Amino acid sequence: DLSKVNEMDCAGIQLLVAAKREAEVRNKILHFTAYSSVALDVLEQCNLFGFLEASVPVALKIREMP
Protein backbone atom coordinates (compact mmCIF):
# COMPACT_ATOMS: atom_id res chain seq x y z
CA ASP A 1 0.00 0.00 0.00
CA LEU A 2 1.72 3.14 -1.24
CA SER A 3 -1.13 5.51 -0.36
CA LYS A 4 0.79 7.26 2.43
CA VAL A 5 3.94 7.92 0.37
CA ASN A 6 4.54 11.67 0.38
CA GLU A 7 8.12 11.58 -0.93
CA MET A 8 10.28 8.99 -2.64
CA ASP A 9 13.98 9.09 -3.45
CA CYS A 10 16.27 6.64 -5.21
CA ALA A 11 16.49 4.46 -2.08
CA GLY A 12 12.71 4.01 -2.14
CA ILE A 13 12.78 3.15 -5.82
CA GLN A 14 15.60 0.65 -5.24
CA LEU A 15 13.58 -1.00 -2.47
CA LEU A 16 10.51 -1.42 -4.69
CA VAL A 17 12.61 -2.84 -7.55
CA ALA A 18 14.50 -5.20 -5.22
CA ALA A 19 11.27 -6.45 -3.65
CA LYS A 20 9.74 -7.09 -7.07
CA ARG A 21 12.84 -8.95 -8.29
CA GLU A 22 12.99 -11.04 -5.12
CA ALA A 23 9.35 -12.01 -5.55
CA GLU A 24 10.07 -13.09 -9.13
CA VAL A 25 13.06 -15.18 -8.02
CA ARG A 26 10.79 -16.95 -5.52
CA ASN A 27 8.03 -17.39 -8.11
CA LYS A 28 5.71 -15.16 -6.11
CA ILE A 29 3.50 -12.28 -7.21
CA LEU A 30 4.00 -8.93 -5.52
CA HIS A 31 1.32 -6.28 -6.00
CA PHE A 32 1.76 -2.64 -5.08
CA THR A 33 -1.56 -0.96 -4.31
CA ALA A 34 -3.16 2.39 -3.48
CA TYR A 35 -0.59 4.62 -5.15
CA SER A 36 -0.29 8.16 -3.84
CA SER A 37 0.10 10.95 -6.39
CA VAL A 38 3.76 11.27 -5.36
CA ALA A 39 4.39 7.55 -5.92
CA LEU A 40 2.67 7.72 -9.31
CA ASP A 41 4.72 10.75 -10.33
CA VAL A 42 8.04 9.16 -9.36
CA LEU A 43 7.23 5.84 -11.03
CA GLU A 44 6.16 7.67 -14.18
CA GLN A 45 9.35 9.75 -14.26
CA CYS A 46 11.48 6.61 -13.81
CA ASN A 47 9.50 4.66 -16.41
CA LEU A 48 8.84 1.81 -13.97
CA PHE A 49 5.15 1.18 -14.62
CA GLY A 50 5.75 -1.86 -16.81
CA PHE A 51 8.23 -3.43 -14.43
CA LEU A 52 6.38 -2.90 -11.16
CA GLU A 53 2.74 -3.29 -12.10
CA ALA A 54 0.93 -3.34 -15.41
CA SER A 55 -2.19 -1.70 -13.91
CA VAL A 56 -0.41 1.46 -12.74
CA PRO A 57 -1.06 3.41 -15.98
CA VAL A 58 -4.78 2.85 -15.40
CA ALA A 59 -4.43 4.40 -11.95
CA LEU A 60 -2.55 7.32 -13.50
CA LYS A 61 -5.29 7.87 -16.09
CA ILE A 62 -7.97 7.82 -13.40
CA ARG A 63 -6.01 10.37 -11.37
CA GLU A 64 -5.78 12.68 -14.38
CA MET A 65 -9.50 12.64 -15.15
CA PRO A 66 -11.34 15.92 -14.44
**Residue 1: what pLDDT?**
87
What are the b/e assignments for 31-61, b being 16+ CB within 10 Å?
ebeebbeebbebbeeeebbeebbeebeebbe
* Mean pLDDT, range 7-12, rounded to an integer: 94
Q: Does the pTM of the predicted model rise above 0.95?
A: no
**Residue 57: what pLDDT?**
46
Tens digits of per-residue pLDDT, 13-64? 999 999 988 888 888 888 888 888 899 899 889 988 778 874 444 455 445 5
**Residue 65: what pLDDT?**
46
**Residue 34: what pLDDT?**
84
CA distances from 41 to 1, 9, 27, 48, 61 (A): 16, 12, 28, 10, 12
User: What is the rounded distance in angstroms from the CA atom of residue 64 to the CA atom of residue 66?
Assistant: 6
